Amino acid sequence: MEIVVVENYDEMSDVACSVVEETVKRNPACVLGLATGSTPLGLYERMVRGYREGKVSYKNVKAVNLDEYIGLPSSHPQSYAFFMREHLFSQIDILPENTHIENGMATDEKAECARYNALLDSMPRDLQVLGIGSNGHIAFNEPFTPFGSETHTVALAESTVKDNSRLFERIEDVPRRAFTMGLKNIMDARRILILASGANKANAVYGLVKGEVTTALPASILQKHGNVVLVCDRAAAQKLGDGV
């Protein structure tokens, strides 16, 4: 795993943006796997800036997102579909039909998982962007999700509901279930860019880099992927020691 430790969130976002932009420049029709949450907001801001400055076009890029809450329509401001449109897709030249996310309102959940797995198989990701949960989850693969998992539905861990409640008016409003890509789907990406910022991610980052590979810390599976770059700030890297 390549590890880049930077001073702060802004520098993490700068490095992340250069990794994404290089991927798109190398292959203007690449497939990007994208994440939501607070972590990639700075990256998306910079991607928008790069597009406006004419540095990069996303006209032929395809995007697939990691996960979506069950029970929220894509028009709901807290849905991940809405988040992606607001923070990225509506501000760059990616075609709406080239953006993909699970349908949170699907009535047949099994069929929706199968549809998404087939889509992922037909569109291998050149680069998968990931954040990491304070408990080491990636996408919504909570601790003890099998490493071989594909797109599935999950009950969110109480710690995740709590972490995500800052974006909702009341904790009761946070959906308790979600669709998520599985760990196998994530591992299928050719390259993985995982971002972490802040002291609350320090334990998870330690487990990701130096811990045992265990389903108790889902991100640890990335140690088995040959092409991962971790970009994290000093606060998130604080438990890694001086050797990195």
Residues known to be catalytic? 67, 135, 137, 142
Is-contact 123 62, C-beta < 8 A? yes
Q: Which is nearer to ligand F6R, 57 or 161 (CB)?
A: 161
Q: Does 36 bind ligand F6R (CB under 6 A)?
A: yes
Which of 67, 102, 112, 150 is close enough to bind ligand F6R by CB under 6 A? 67
- Nearest-CB residue for ligand F6R: 131
Q: Does 38 bind ligand F6R (CB under 6 A)?
A: yes
Q: In angstroms, what is the minimal distance from the CB of 204 to ligand F6R?
A: 9
Residue 55 CB, nearest approach to ligand F6R (Å): 25
Residues belonging to the chain: 244
Nearer of residues 35 and 56 to ligand F6R, judged by Cβ: 35
Q: Which is nearer to ligand F6R, 110 or 162 (CB)?
A: 162
**DSSP H or E stretch at residue 232:** strand 228-233
Among 13, 39, 79, 128, binds ligand F6R (CB under 6 A): 39
Residue 131 CB, nearest approach to ligand F6R (Å): 3
Tokens 């979600």 locate to 178
Count of residues that bind ligand F6R according to CB under 6 A: 14
Q: How far is CA 146 from CA 135, 176, 182, 217, 218, in A?
A: 16, 20, 9, 11, 9
User: How far is it, in rounded angstroms, from Cα 212 to Cα 154?
Assistant: 24
By CB under 6 A, residue 133 contacts ligand F6R? yes
Q: Is 138 in the site for ligand F6R (CB under 6 A)?
A: yes
131 near ligand F6R, rule: CB under 6 A: yes
Question: In which residue are the tokens 């801001």 written?
Answer: 45
Inter-residue contact 167 to 87 (CB < 8 Å): no
Contacts of 125 (CB under 8 A, 6+ apart): 31, 32, 33, 64, 188, 189, 190
Verify binding: residue 139, ligand F6R, rule CB under 6 A. Answer: yes
Least distance in angstroms from the C-beta of 130 to ligand F6R: 6
Distance set, CA 153 to CA 55, 70, 87, 163 (Å): 38, 8, 25, 19
Residues within the interface to ligand F6R (CB under 6 A): 35-39, 66-67, 131-133, 137-140
